[in-house]
Amino acid sequence: MTHREEAALSVRAVVGLQWGDEGKGKIIDFLSAEADYVVRSQGGPNAGHTVVVDGETAVFHLLPCGILRPRVTCVIGNGVVVDPETLAKELAYLDGRGIRWEGRLQLSHAAHLIFPYHRLLDLAWERRRGARSIGTTGKGIGPAYADKVTRIGIRLVDLRDPAHFRAKLAANVQEKLALLAWLGDPAELDVEEIAESYLAFGRRMASAIVDSARALNRAIADGRRVLFEGAQGTLLDLDHGTYPYVTSSSPLAGGVGTGCGIGPTRIGAVIGVAKAYATRVGNGPFPTELPADDAKRMRDLGEEFGATTGRPRRCGWFDGVALRQAVMLNGASSLAITKLDVLDGFAEIGLCTAYRVEGRTVDFPPPEPWLFQQAEPVYEMHAGWRTSTREARRWEDLPAAARSYLERIEALAGVPVGMVSVGSGRDQVLTR
Catalytic residue positions? 21, 49
Query: Which residues are 73's β-sheet partners?
Result: 37
Write the DSSP assignment of 360-394 as a string of letters: EEESS--SSHHHHHH-EEEEEEEE---S--TT--S
Task: Answer for the pair 360, 376: CB distance below 8 angstroms, yes or no.
Answer: no
Helix H or strand E encompassing 273:
strand 269-275
Task: Please state, in angstroms and rounded to a whole number, the distance separating the CA atoms of residues 234 and 275.
Answer: 13
Tell me the CA distances in angstroms from 89 to 54, 61, 94, 138, 147, one per residue in order: 21, 10, 9, 18, 25
First to last CA, the chain: 19
Tell me the CA distances in angstroms from 47 to 25, 59, 169, 272, 421, one per residue in order: 10, 9, 26, 17, 20
CA-CA-CA-CA torsion sign (23, 367, 312, 294):
negative
Report which of 213, 238, 358, 251 is spatially closest to residue 17, judged by C-alpha positions. Answer: 251
Write the DSSP assignment of 348-365 as a string of letters: EEEEEEEEEETTEEESS-
Query: Which residues are 33's β-sheet partners?
Result: none
Task: Answer for the pair 323, 15: CB distance below 8 angstroms, yes or no.
Answer: no
Phi, psi at 143, each rounded to 5° = -60, -35
Task: Please state, in angstroms and rounded to a whole number, the distance separating the CA atoms of residues 377 and 16.
Answer: 21
Tell me the CA distances in angstroms from 170 to 116, 175, 188, 193, one per residue in order: 13, 9, 13, 11
Phi, psi at 153, each rounded to 5° = -65, 160
